[in-house]
């Protein structure tokens, strides 16, 4: 039921999103959002959105309490009446607002000018049951899911700047329309798999792995926003590769040398076993410091890319992170061999400050 306050709520959320947008680079490189994820929600710390006023400093004012207790015992302190404002956490002046992962993805998409991905061809997952589930963009008018449709229209209008909170009018256009959809054998539902690969050899330090972790969060957010159904698989490698779970992926350190081909081989086996390219949108992401063991091994990798990955995947992405020692040759080898090939996205990440630029390089192709 619409309330008078809906406009004010919307206005506040717009301001919050504006803050996120303005500080996106900082959020991307500090990772402070990663710890604040719920299921579909991210908590944004907003240190300066409260309204300032003349007030006493924290802990300047004593208080009055009631109950048992000797002098010196702890008392639950809230000194005076009216010291706190709604929205403040006790003891701090950092407000938190919430943004859905979807909104975060939208902000990211707008700030980085990322084109929406058009899922290709007939990639779908088939299912035996007929059931109203999920929402799809096409369908007969009788099944139009009105609230979703209006929400899509609203999002679109806000995004394009045509929304006027003072004179709210929502006009859905065809692409806004959302329909209740049901799953049948031939009903398309877009699916994607992300194959994360990371070099965990001696030269990849903690900071480098942290950069990968931060980038992975944004990659996940973006791809989840673009596909109905996203899976992720994790491969770590030094001279050998193995599949692990998400936590292990970010925590492991080996000390051996680097054979990048080991990771690519394992990735390909996984694709062959579980993700037929005509049903899945496939996104391998490889992170390394670029020091492959030998030219021979690099050559193996280039061949695999040429003959297997590039033809089968939506996009193969490679990000080379720098350590204290800079980074190695692999980036140059790739860009030399595949110069101009749009199916390969390359990025260098000298340090955290460049995470945002790297994300744009990797996701900015719209593939």
Partner 1 sequence: MSDLREQLDEALARDGDGRAELHGPGWTAQLDHGEAGPVGVVVERLRVEGRVGDLVDRAQVLADTLRPAGERLQPVEVDPALGGAVLRTRPDDMRGGRFFQLEVDRGDAELTRQRRRAEGGRVEEPFPMTREELSRVLEALGEVLGAPEDEVDGG
Partner 2 sequence: MAHESYFFRARRGLPRELQEAQTWIEGIASGYGLQFCETVFEMCDWQEINMLASYGGFPTRYPHWRWGMDYLQMDKSYEYGLQKIYEMVINTQPAYAYLLDNNTMMDQKLVMAHVYGHVDFFTNNAWFAHTDRKMLDRMANHATRVRRHMDAEGQDVVETFIDMCLSIENLIDPHLPHIRRERSESEREKEAARRAPGYARMPARHYMDKYINPPEFLEEQRQRHQDRMAAQARFPDSPVRDVLGFLLEHGRMRPWQRDVLSIIRSEAYYFAPQGQTKIMNEGWASYWHTTMMTRDILTDAEVIDYCDHHSGTVAMQPGRLNPYKVGIELFRHIEDRWDKGRFGKDWMDCDDVAVKRDWDTGAGLGRDKIFEVRRTHNDVTFIDEFLTEDFVREQGLFTTTWDKKAGHYVVDSREFGAVKQQMLTMLASRGNPPITVTDANHGNRGELELTHAHEGMDLQLDWAELTLGNIARIWGRAAHLVTTVDGRRTVLHHDGASFTVDKEGKPGAGEKQQKEAS
Please give the residue ranges that form the binding site for partner 1 (CB under 8 A): 201-203, 238-239, 255-259, 290-291, 293, 320, 322, 324-328, 331-332, 348-350
CB of 44 to partner 2, least distance (A): 12
Site for partner 2 in 95-134 (CB under 8 A): 95, 97-98
Beta-carbon contacts of 295 under 8 Å, excluding residues fewer than 6 positions away, are none
- Spatial contact of 338 and 366, defined as CB atoms under 8 Å apart: no
CB of 305 to partner 1, least distance (A): 20
Among 142, 161, 166, 340, binds partner 2 (CB under 8 A): 166
Q: Which does 4 bind (CB under 5 to 8 A by kind): partner 1, partner 2, none?
A: partner 2
Q: Is 154 in the site for partner 2 (CB under 8 A)?
A: no
Dihedral (Cα; 207, 210, 216, 217), 10-degree rounding:
-140
Q: Output the six-digit token pair for 351.
A: 């340090």
Q: Which helix (H) or strand (E) holds 108?
A: helix 101-111
Give 193's strand partners: 231, 282
127: exposed, middle or buried (Cβ count in 10 Å: 0-12, 13-18, 19+)? middle
- Classified as helix, coil or strand, 135 is strand
Q: Which does 202 bind (CB under 5 to 8 A by kind): partner 1, partner 2, none?
A: partner 1
**Nearest residue to 44 via CA among 52, 57, 35, 54:** 35
CB of 292 to partner 1, least distance (A): 11
Identify the residue whose tokens are 């001279």: 239
Q: Which stretch binds partner 2 (CB under 8 A): 91-99, 107-115, 137-145, 276-284?
A: 91-99
Q: Is 39 in the site for partner 2 (CB under 8 A)?
A: no
CB of 349 to partner 1, least distance (A): 7
Beta-carbon contacts of 141 under 8 Å, excluding residues fewer than 6 positions away, are none
Among 22, 38, 63, 294, binds partner 2 (CB under 8 A): 63
Distance CA 104, CA 225 (A): 9
Q: What is the maximum alpha-carbon separation in the chain? A: 78
CB of 262 to partner 1, least distance (A): 11
Distance CA 43, CA 21 (A): 14
- Encode 82-99: b = buried (16+ Cβ within 10 Å), e = exposed: eeeeeeeeeeeeebbbeb
Residue number with CB closer to partner 1 (181 or 203): 203
Give 288's strand partners: 320
Residue number with CB closer to partner 2 (66 or 160): 66
Q: Which stretch binds partner 2 (CB under 8 A): 32-40, 56-64, 281-289, 292-300?
A: 56-64
Q: Which does 238 bind (CB under 5 to 8 A by kind): partner 2, partner 1, none?
A: partner 1
CB of 304 to partner 1, least distance (A): 19
CB of 242 to partner 2, least distance (A): 42
Residue number with CB closer to partner 1 (70 or 255): 255
Where does this chain bind partner 2 (CB under 8 A)?
1, 3-5, 7-13, 15, 48-49, 51-83, 86-87, 95, 97-98, 165-166
């Amino acid at each position: 039921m619409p309330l008078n306050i809906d406009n004010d709520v919307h206005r506040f959320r717009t301001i919050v999103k504006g803050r996120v947008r303005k500080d996106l680079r900082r959020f991307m490189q500090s990772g402070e959002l990663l710890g604040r994820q719920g299921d579909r929600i991210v908590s944004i710390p907003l240190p300066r959105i409260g309204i300032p006023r003349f007030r006493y400093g924290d802990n300047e004012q004593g208080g009055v309490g009631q109950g048992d207790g000797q002098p010196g015992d702890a008392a639950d302190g809230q000194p005076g009446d009216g010291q706190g404002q709604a929205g403040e956490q006790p003891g701090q002046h950092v407000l938190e607002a919430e943004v859905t992962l979807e909104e975060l993805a939208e902000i990211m998409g707008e700030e980085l000018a990322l084109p929406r991905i058009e899922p290709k061809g007939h990639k779908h997952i088939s299912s035996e049951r007929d059931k109203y589930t999920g929402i799809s963009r096409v369908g007969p008018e009788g099944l139009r899911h009105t609230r979703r449709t209006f929400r899509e229209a609203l999002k679109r209008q806000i995004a394009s700047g045509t929304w006027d909170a003072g004179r709210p009018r929502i006009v859905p256009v065809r692409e806004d329309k959302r329909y209740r959809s049901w799953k049948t054998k031939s009903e398309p539902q877009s699916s994607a798999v992300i194959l994360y690969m990371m070099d965990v050899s001696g030269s990849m330090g903690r900071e480098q792995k942290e950069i990968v972790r931060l980038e992975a969060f944004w990659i996940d957010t973006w791809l989840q926003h673009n596909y109905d159904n996203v899976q992720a698989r994790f491969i770590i490698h030094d001279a050998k590769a193995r599949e692990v779970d998400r936590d292990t992926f970010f925590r492991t350190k080996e000390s051996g040398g680097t054979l990048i081909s080991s990771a690519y081989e394992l990735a390909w086996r996984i694709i062959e076993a579980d993700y037929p390219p005509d049903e899945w949108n496939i996104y391998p992401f490889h992170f390394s410091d670029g020091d492959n063991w030998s030219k021979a091994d690099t050559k193996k990798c280039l061949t695999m890319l040429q003959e297997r990955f590039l033809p089968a995947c939506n996009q193969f992405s490679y990000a080379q992170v720098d350590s204290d020692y800079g980074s190695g040759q692999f980036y140059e080898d790739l860009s030399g061999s595949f110069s101009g090939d749009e199916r390969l996205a390359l990025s260098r990440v000298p340090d955290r400050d460049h995470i945002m630029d790297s994300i744009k390089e990797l996701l900015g192709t719209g593939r």
